[in-house]
Amino acid sequence: MQPLQLSLAYNSKIHYLNVLLICLLLPIWSFFAPFTTVFFSFGVLFLGYNLHQLVIIIAYIILFAIIIGGFAISYLAEDDKIYLNKDGLTLPWYFYLTNKFNTKYIWSDLVRAEILTNNNTNFLLLDFKDKPIIQLNLRYFKQASINELLLALEIWGINCKRSNELIEYHDQLQNKNLADLNFTKLWQDELAYRFNATSFIPLDPGQKLQNETIKVIRQLAFGGFSAIYLVQKDNKNLYILKEAVVPNNCDSEQMQKAIGYLNKEFTLLSKISHPFIAKIFDYFVENNRHYLLLEYVNGQDLRQYIKQNGQLNEIMVVEIGTMLSKVLMYLHNLEPPIIHRDITPDNIVLKDNKEIILIDFGAANEFLSTATMTLVGKQAYISPEQFRGHPTPQTDLYALGGTLYFLLTGCDPEPLAQNLVSEKIPNINPELNDLIARLTEFEESQRIKSAKDTLEILHGIKKNILA
């Protein structure tokens, strides 16, 4: 898949002056000059115009200059686009005049972005290292283009510090467009590009690992770089085996870094003890494939359950949210805190007694992301900060909100966006709708702060529903 590239029309005054100029000059360069050139050439060659050779040369130079100049002005008049991709942005030609001959910028050099308001007109200021500040008049963009431009800053401007005024302006702009979320295609396309799925051949049932002590019973799921199996150890107990496969062309330095990360993660995860978390028993490498051996839990994951039984009622969703909040409180309060990074319906098993078990961590996904320099995970549940490679405890809260949204609606949430259940279920409990909206806030600063706060809100919602 080719990297995403956007082209945003920037209809400035200079652009309109170009268009006006080309319209005024159109008869001269497209008709008068070519006709005069043909007529003059015919006269020189066939009618015997008695002109000095220098005059003829000058006449041709002037006529051809008019024609070429007309084409050049037409070309420049069409150059009204700002182009953006994962590497940087390119400005229209006339920015040469104000930006010291700079029209190409790379995202890694962007250090600051802010909004400046002057006479009721908003200007976006972009400060790149060692280059003049770019000043863009937002009146020259269509509203959809402003959304795409500001989202591009979020996706690709990883070193950029955005002013509070810019964040507030972007939030207001998004709130005006909640009914039309087409601009999130930018996120979705970039996510699809970063996922960069690469196929591999999974293990077949009956294959054995670890000196034939672990036998593959069946595949549970596979795709891209990883697979999950049901296995039997020593012909006795059942376990879950998660497999991560790294391509041979992977950078060796990144590979070593990823392996070190996975070893460290396993050491941390093996010490976890919580009734709602499946235990991790072992980590090993065989045939250049990396494996995590996890506790087998009898039950259905929430995605399968919803597919077979339909979405859950509000009280059951609150109960599951309460259990997940307790899990996240436990993980986030460990020393050091553990960020799960992969809270999704697929990783939560509902047992017969209606208790949940969290069956998988993002350790293998993080390993693959580090080794292959691509994003691995489930698009709809990835927070903006995790997308940018900086997960925090609030990353898990974002995924929790997306999971609760799925349980109530039966649909995956909108990727990298605030999600409102009320748009699909108008009569939803307003407190529960507000909770999910706050959990899936785009900005961390506006999201619920902790799993403890989430748990307290859920207790209140449950009390009011049962009252």
Q: Which residues of the chain have pLDDT under 70?
A: 1-5, 12-23, 25-26, 29, 31, 45-51, 72-79, 93-102, 155, 171, 174-200, 221-226, 246-255, 257-265, 268, 360-378
Q: Give the angle 195-199-203 at the CA atoms, nearest 5°.
A: 125
Cα–Cα distance measured from residue 111 to residue 99, given in angstroms and rounded to the nearest whole number: 17
| Selection from 81, 82, 86, 83 nearest residue 155 by Cα | 86
Residue identified by tokens 């900005």 is 443
Q: What backbone torsions phi and psi does residue 116 show, to the nearest 5 degrees?
A: -120, 130
Tell me what pLDDT residue 427 has.
Answer: 95
**Where would I find the H helices in 196-297?**
252-269
Q: What count of other Cβ atoms lies within 10 Å of the Cβ of residue 64? A: 13
| Selection from 418, 13, 355 nearest residue 187 by Cα | 418
Contacts of 388 (CB under 8 A, 6+ apart): 154, 155, 158
- The answer to whether the beta carbons of residues 393 and 451 sit under 8 Å apart is yes
| Selection from 294, 260, 265, 282 nearest residue 371 by Cα | 260
Contacts of 389 (CB under 8 A, 6+ apart): 158
Contacts of 49 (CB under 8 A, 6+ apart): 40, 43
| Selection from 453, 444, 446, 442 nearest residue 321 by Cα | 453
Length of the chain measured in residues: 467
- The answer to whether the beta carbons of residues 438 and 425 sit under 8 Å apart is no
Tell me what pLDDT residue 361 has.
Answer: 64
Cis-peptide, bond into residue 336, ω within 30° of zero: yes
Its pTM stands at 0.59
* Cα atoms found within 13 Å of the Cα of residue 145, Cβ hemisphere only: 18
The pLDDT tens digits for 161-201 are: 888 888 778 767 755 554 444 444 555 555 554 444 445 67
| Selection from 454, 456, 458, 421 nearest residue 311 by Cα | 421
